[in-house]
Structure 1
Amino acid sequence: MPRLAAPLREAQRRREKRAAGLVSDIRLSGINDLLIRLDDLIIAFIDHPSFKGLAFLLRRSAADFETALEATISGYSSVAFDAMRDVLEIEYLLRDFALDPANITNWLDADQKTLKKYFSPVKVRERLKTAGIGNFGENAESRDYRAHSMSLHLSPHRVGLLPGKGLARDRLFPNDFGFWEIFLHAHGLISAIRSLTEALAPESEVHHLASQDSALLAEARKDVQHTQELYYSMFEARNLLRGNRPGEACAVLSIALRDAGAIRGELLTESKLEAFYDEAIRVAQGEVSPAQQIAVLLVAILNSTDGQ
């Protein structure tokens, strides 16, 4: 069955290649720490009467993170994206429970009609927005939810920042997309759990456990954010180039390289432009990395237009 074998073989090839390279990667360590923390919280929820009925939501979110990791390693970024939408819905529901704890029993006892009328995703988001929780305006969180909705629902339009269905292109940034989603929504979920335990049982062992910070998770999230910011800078620069604004494109890329620590910030002055150019070439000719990809584009723009 060659039609079926081809994508399965390619997914297996990517899985083996990427898994080998991730053995000592901070991102894998961060996700492992996240799953251990969720396992501990599941046990704590089961042991506390106020949270026992919600333990399955944490178990479901842990399964979502496992799914997203496997999909990311195999190259199915869109599967990871969809799994994280589920985590996002769980996060919003937990925040709604923290806002009004009576909704826990109302939700657990609800029939399908009540769930649709009072606990559909749109109703939950409306309550959070009214309470000023979640910031559902023109910010990153709101845009993230809209992006998930755009990915889920059929449309004749392709949004460049979203992963396509099936195997993603085997390139540097598409391969990292799932990690961006995992750490973004891990942060949101842990924050929501903490809000819930504080609202219901602030002196309990459950809240103490939920309030603990993970250095590994924070470090991994910071590492992922650097890569994500570099990708967005490349996307923004390309849009500026299409608008015939190469100077602004150079500025966006230069700042991204500075913020990532790839180029010294003091070189971004008019008196040191030559040294900055030499440094950009050095990064562009180095080992393949997110910063190297950005530097390649920057040097190409500078060589073709002098950055003007």
Structure 2
Amino acid sequence: MSSGLPRNLDSLHTAEEELRKKAGHMIAGEPRLQLHLAVTEAAMDLANMLRQFATNDEDLKVVQMLAMRTFNAFGASLKLSLSGYHQNSALVLRDVLETTFLLDLFRGDRSLIERWRFADKKGRMKQFSPVKVREALDTRDGNTSKKRFEMYEMFSELAGHPNMNSHLMMRPEKGSDAVIGPFIEFTTLQAGISEMGRLAVQVGEHLGAFFPAGWGVPSRVVFGKLKLDWFSTFYPKQARPA
């Protein structure tokens, strides 16, 4: 039965689905990648639970909207990654990174949510542009290492902007030629899923701070356990209670 798509696009989709199976086989043998994906799923579940809370609080509705944005972005990024579009997957993760920083800012000062809601374009750019949000967070935390900038810059260089470094994510192997279309290669897949897990931990932590008391407890418990497992696995010296 015809899908209604042009033949070449139909064939491309078939190839993408085969690559997804290949990626699944790779992940099946890698507990660390499975943990990254488990904590990503848990963060997405938190986003889904938070958006179901009925409220007339317009500030909380903003957070719910941002939560839904992260859910959609994680889903899209994972689909792209498993289908072999690693650069495009990373571009979506940059959106998650920006949203994570904004949630962090609002978590620290909830009065900023209302200011963000009513700001015009000029006002948003003056106080809430990506660079302004990063600078505000660094000032708040006394952070002089510029790690937030470095993370944003990495996503921008490799995926966000056409430049001479952006082709690196189009190469199945270091030193090889760039290829057109999707491909699955373990190192690239691992890098993308690892960054996804790292962002998911942050998203889940920030969203959890906005949950009304008693709401979504089972989901919060699951995330808390996975977060602790994640820190114990990847940052054992920084492991902390959920």
Deviation at residue 214 of structure 1 after TM alignment: 3.3
Q: Does 1:116 align with 2:116?
A: no
Aligned to 2:101: 92
TM-score, normalising length from structure 1? 0.58
Deviation at residue 153 of structure 1 after TM alignment: 2.0
CA shift digits 1:89-122 (9 cap, x unpaired): 1111112212332211111122222222221111
In terms of Rg, which structure is larger?
A: 1
Counterpart of 2:225, as a letter, is A
**Greater RCO structure (CA 8 Å; 6+ sep):** 2
Identity among equivalent positions (%) equals: 21
Where do residues 184-263 of structure 1 align in structure 2 (5 Å cutoff)?
Answer: 184-194=198-208, 196-197=209-210, 204-205=213-214, 212=221, 213-216=223-226, 218-219=228-229, 225=234
Q: Does 1:148 align with 2:155?
A: yes
CA shift digits 1:244-293 (9 cap, x unpaired): xxxxxxxxxxxxxxxxxxxxxxxxxxxxxxxxxxxxxxxxxxxxxxxxxx
CA shift digits 1:203-238 (9 cap, x unpaired): x33597896443345546776x59xxxxxxxxxxxx
Counterpart of 1:81, as a letter, is A
Change beyond 3 A, Cα 1:47–1:158: closer
Change beyond 3 A, Cα 1:180–1:221: farther
Change beyond 3 A, Cα 1:207–1:73: closer
Q: Which of 156, 169, 177 lines up with 2:191 in the alignment?
A: 177
Counterpart of 1:47, as a letter, is T
Aligned to 2:22: 17
Change beyond 3 A, Cα 1:137–1:206: farther
SS at match of 2:184: coil
The answer as to whether partners of 1:34 and 1:186 remain within 8 angstroms in 2 is: yes
Aligned residues: 216
Change beyond 3 A, Cα 1:210–1:118: farther
Structure 2: gaps spanning 5 or more residues: 1-5, 172-178, 236-242
Q: Does 1:52 align with 2:65?
A: no
Deviation at residue 58 of structure 1 after TM alignment: 0.3
Distance 1:17 1:218 in 2: 29
Counterpart of 1:215, as a letter, is K
Q: Which of 135, 139, 153 lines up with 1:130 in the alignment?
A: 139
The answer as to whether partners of 1:11 and 1:74 remain within 8 angstroms in 2 is: yes
Structure 1: gaps spanning 5 or more residues: 227-308
